[in-house]
Chain A
Amino acid sequence: MRLSRRQRARIFEAVARALLGTAAALVVGVAGFLLLYIAFRGIPGLSWEFLTDVPRNRGREGGIFPALVGTLYVVFGTGVLTVPLGILGGVYLSEYAPRSPSTRFIRLAVANMAGVPSIVYGLFGLAAFVLAAGIGRSVLAASLTLTCMTLPVVITATEEALRQIPADLRHAALALGASRLRTVWTVVLPAAAPGIVTGIVLGLARAAGETAPILFTGAVFQMRRLPDGPGSQFMALPYHIYTQVTSVPNWNRDLVWGTAFILVATVSAASALAAVWRSFKRRRTAW
């Protein structure tokens, strides 16, 4: 049977559409499956005791309270360091940096930082913070390491959010006699806040889930007490999952999946909240 050009084109169109659609459905399907599977496996392990008790019998029983608190400490430490540095860095790139090769160089460095493997950050943290700076394995050393990793996320988000703000708004403030710094601080940054906050939340959520950077910088297998300061070692949720699976024979499936669920749920809830807040704020500011 001979087909006309038109008919052939139409068949190709249908086949291509079907194949491409299948690929997209596959990707979305995998993501949806992961979401449901993690919930399905994780929810049975959840209980009040699980959230508030210390691990017992090498983690096969009890709860994950110290790991939960340890992760919160490290994320808090990372936030305290990353937020100011990242925002200032983004402000520099968007508002102060000249159009010059050196600025291009900085942007390249930011993009590259985002691509450095997390285990390399771990090595760097060990060599620079734990050993060279003499901080030792601790909440502080891990926070510093995670800060290096999170910084490019916050810098990029800040720069992009600032770029969305129309130049007119800056000029209006300057024309009222505001200095450049005051313009940025009172007009541009508040207007860009939704985008910046989203970037910070995404960056910190990622930091909360990272294992490799904290392997050698302060995370420990088990601790009965909570970290008592920035110099203390700590348990962390992702590291807890890793050590349970790889070094505890007959690890408790329910408890480990429960831990994974807590981690994923917290990270996704934070990102979702940030996204909702941003779209709520955006309705106002349709530049």
Chain B
Amino acid sequence: MVTGLRSAVMAVSAAAWSSAEEGARVVEETSPQGSGRFELRSVSVAYGPETVIEDVTMNIPPQAVTALIGPSGCGKSTLLRCLNRMNDELGNVRVSGTIALDGQDIMARGVDPVDLRMRVGQVFQRPNPFPMSIYDNVAYGPRTQGIRRRDELDAIVEDSLRRAALWDEVKGSLKKHAFDLSGGQQQRLCIARALATHPEVLLMDEPASALDPISTQQIEDTVAELKRSVTIVIVTHNMQQAARISDQTAFMLRERLDMPARLIEVGETRKVFTNPDDPRTEAYITGRFG
């Protein structure tokens, strides 16, 4: 199932796991801004008085795909939103512990979430293009950063659409309304939109759950291509998908409704799927619950 990716994966994740050996890491193409490596230490999340996620400690290696799996309601999406501080926008959410991006604490006082979000892009569950043209959708982020020059924007738009594997389908119709695209194309447009700010990290919250199998395949191919330059964290319900596209897998579980979700196991995808350390992981993966 994962044979095609295995060797590269092993090299990347093995290196990423030992931070002391970072210099020896093999990366094909480094993002110009930074590596895009997350370190989470004892991260807990509370909605009002209720703790929903407790004590998550894990590393997210750069230029690799990390999958967050687990039954619905186990806090995967909430944890994902911690990484670009989107939880700030939902109100009444408290995150504790530390989350560092390339060694910088993103929850520190004085960190502007706006800066963070330009480095950590997000793709949502359902395609949510803005009600404007394809071009304007992709140019939205750069324009927000203050880029106004037409030629510069043109270059960014083309580059982002190429990376999202949409360029060939839309290059003649950039002025077309985004809603005229199919669902799968819309989702790839959303990926292009997120790539246009040159983020080091891309968060994907079940990006294919609303799509048909062919579109899903295209998204997965795009992800496989993108990870050469971007760190990807993907939430998915689909175990096969996690096994196909990820290098590292984290399994989260909320054992009882009155308990917060915990990180049960995190490790190299092949190992988690073939020889998990925890019996609960095995039970979930073999389909005994969830």
Enumerate chain A interface residues (CB-CB to B < 8 A): 166, 168-179, 182, 186-187, 190-191, 284-285
Contacts and interface: CB of A to CB of B under 8 A. Distances in A.
Interface stretch (B54-62, B127-135, B274-282): B127-135
B194 A175 contact: yes
A177 B141 CA distance: 7
11 contacts: A168-B128, A169-B128, A169-B130, A172-B128, A172-B193, A174-B89, A174-B117, A175-B124, A176-B141, A177-B141, A177-B144
Interface in B92-128: 114-118, 121-122, 124, 126, 128
Given A176-B193, A177-B197, A171 B131 contact: no
* A169, A171, A284, most chain B CB atoms within 10 A: A171
Nearest to B131: A191
Interface of B: 84, 86, 89, 114-118, 121-122, 124, 126, 128, 130-132, 140-141, 144-145, 177, 179, 190, 193-194, 197
* A175, A178, A186, most chain B CB atoms within 10 A: A175
Contact of B126 (A168, A178, A285): A168
B68 to A, nearest CB: 17
Contacts of B131: 169, 190-191, 284-285
Contacts of A168: 124, 126, 128
Nearest to B120: A175
A45 B130 CA distance: 50
A176 B121 contact: yes
Contacts of B144: 176-178, 182
A186 B140 contact: yes
Contacts of B86: 171, 174-175
B118 A172 contact: no
Nearest to A193: B131
A166 B117 contact: no
Nearest to B122: A175
Contacts of B121: 175-176
B177 A284 contact: yes
A161 to B, nearest CB: 13
Nearest to B190: A172
A174 B130 CA distance: 12
A285 B179 CA distance: 8
A164 to B, nearest CB: 12
B130 to A, nearest CB: 5
Contact of B197 (A176, A182, A186): A176
A176 B177 contact: no
Contacts of A169: 128, 130-131
B190 A190 contact: no
* B121, B122, B128, B197, most chain A CB atoms within 10 A: B128
Nearest to A286: B179
A284 to B, nearest CB: 6
Nearest to B136: A186
A175 B132 contact: no
A170 B89 CA distance: 10
A109 B187 CA distance: 42
A204 B114 CA distance: 39
* A174, A191, A285, most chain B CB atoms within 10 A: A174
B130 A172 contact: yes
Contact of A179 (B84, B114, B128, B190): B114
| Pairs A-B, 7 closest by C-beta atoms | A175-B122, A177-B118, A176-B141, A177-B117, A168-B128, A191-B131, A178-B144
A171 B140 contact: no
B115 A187 contact: no
A24 to B, nearest CB: 37
Contacts of A191: 130-131
Contacts of A285: 131, 179
A96 to B, nearest CB: 12
Contacts of B179: 284-285
Contacts of A172: 122, 124, 128, 130, 190, 193
Nearest to B137: A172
Given A168-B126, A169-B128, A187-B140, 16 more contacts: A168-B124, A170-B89, A171-B86, A171-B124, A171-B128, A172-B190, A174-B86, A174-B89, A175-B84, A175-B117, A176-B118, A176-B141, A176-B197, A177-B114, A177-B145, A191-B131
A178 B144 CA distance: 6
B132 A190 contact: yes
A173 B89 contact: no
Given A176-B121, A177-B114, A177-B118, A166 B128 contact: yes
